[in-house]
Amino acid sequence: MKYARPIAWLACAAAAAVFAAAPATPAHAQASAAWRTQAPYTQQELDQMLAPIALYPDALIAQVLMAATYPLEVVQAARFVQRNPGLGGEALERAVAPMGWDPSVAALTQFPSVLAMMSEELDWTQRLGEAFLAQREQVMDTVQSLRAKAYAAGSLRSTEQQHVIVQDRVIVIEPWQPGLLWVPYYNPLIVYGSWWWPAYPPFLWVPPVVYRPPYFPEVYSVGIVWGPLTVVLGSLWHDPRPVWRSRPIVVDNAPVFNVIVTNASAPRPQVWHHDTPHRRRVEYRTPVVRERYQARPPAPGQHVAPPPAPRIAPPATSPQVAPTPSPRVAPAPRVTPTPQREREGATPPQRERERVAPPSQREREQVRPAPQREQVMPAPRREQVTPAPQRQQAMPAPQREPRQSGEPQQRGPQ
């Protein structure tokens, strides 16, 4: 079943025939050709494209615009949600974490009906993503223009589900309570009043039957019909919001640490950039987008793109550094443990030099303190203490001679 259907096609066909019969002036043809060169999609196509989602809350339409730039991941996420019905809360967060999808695609897993429509109408999703990449300012202005028409028609007002704020020609749609969102479904031919591009009728989005609430009408005869309440997870949502005046989308997913209190962190708005790795090699359709993003590295500060491996500089090799001469080492008795401490605190190149030192050099360093150790040996002191001379003086040999029998004790000269 198709979820996006052109409406009022009979009237549009008649009007298209009238416009086709009217000849185009050369100036108009040149202006149209120049516009086509600079912008892939005309204002008529943008109005037709954005009509089903322009009345979404700001955070939800921001997620849709970002996720539309990754059509393959949208299809994968829609099939994942279809295979895991009823998965929500922390269980959904744990199941989505290893998938490696862009945060905008992972956030839409909390809105199965939106994912199902984007996956079913894949051509519309790809065109929306290309328009957002090539004409972001015009896309944002078109959303505001459609909201202004719905507000003028009386269809866009504050309700129990949403808070509509109008200030300085900017219309902001927010939930009354952060984290509580309803998906609006509506008939563009009713909420916007009389459609102003008969040749480009808007699309009517009808969610799949499995995601429709019990009170959902088959044909839109009223303004806005609300889907079920969704309690979004902050860890998957990242609080995106469009900045309507400067026209970027900011995401509060980059913590900044306080300089005074180091353990305190607060979210800092970060401008969203298209992450080309999450495109997963899907070709860009328009030449403008292809030239801008094809084979382009991720922009700095992107929250899902990992740094490429070639950017890491290889470590310096030991042959590039001259070996340190051995005489720098202090004498062994005082600096015996010093080489070990120097090895522990040395830088990696110094450790490599010590490891690659020739064996003869290490042997000479180890044998050097041997002569100094011989000087400390107490061998000479033991030789001085030997009592050998005292034993010779105490020998009683002269005293034994007078004791022999038959000899006088003292003999004089004869």
Each of the 414 residues of the chain gets a pLDDT tens digit; together they read: 444 444 443 334 333 333 333 333 344 344 344 444 557 899 999 999 999 999 999 999 999 999 999 999 999 999 999 999 888 888 999 999 999 999 999 999 999 999 999 999 999 999 999 999 999 999 999 999 999 999 999 999 999 999 999 999 999 999 999 889 999 999 999 999 999 999 999 988 888 888 887 777 765 677 788 888 999 988 888 889 999 988 889 987 444 333 344 444 555 778 989 999 999 889 898 888 888 887 655 555 555 444 444 333 344 444 444 444 444 544 444 544 444 444 444 444 444 444 444 545 444 444 454 444 444 454 444 444 444 444 444 454 445 444 444 444 444 444
Q: Is 191 helix (H, G, I), strand (E, B) or coil?
A: helix
CA–CA dist 344, 83 (Å, integer): 56
Record the tokens describing residue 329, joined without a space: 């080492």
Among 279, 321, 286, which residue's Cα sits nearest to residue 302?
Answer: 279
Rounded distance between C-alpha atoms, residue 163 and residue 157, angstroms: 8
Strands (E) across 49-103 are located at: none
The beta strands (E) that lie in 258-345 are given as 265-271
d(C-alpha 111, C-alpha 78), whole Å? 10
250 alpha carbon, distance to own chain's centre: 15
Question: DSSP letter at 155?
Answer: -
Which of 68, 72, 127, 110 lies closest to 249 in space, CA to CA? Answer: 68
| d(C-alpha 70, C-alpha 62), whole Å | 14
Distance between CA atoms of residues 4 and 121, nearest Å:
7
Whole-structure pTM value:
0.62
Chain CA centroid to CA 379, Å? 74
How many other C-beta atoms lie within 10 A of the C-beta of residue 224? 20
Read off the tokens for 106.
Answer: 């992972």
Q: Report the SS3 class of residue 3.
A: coil
Please give the Cα distance from 360 to 179 (Å, whole number): 73
**Which region holds residue 247: left if phi is over 0, alpha if psi is between -120 and 50, else beta?**
left
Beta strand 249-257 pairing with 240-242: antiparallel
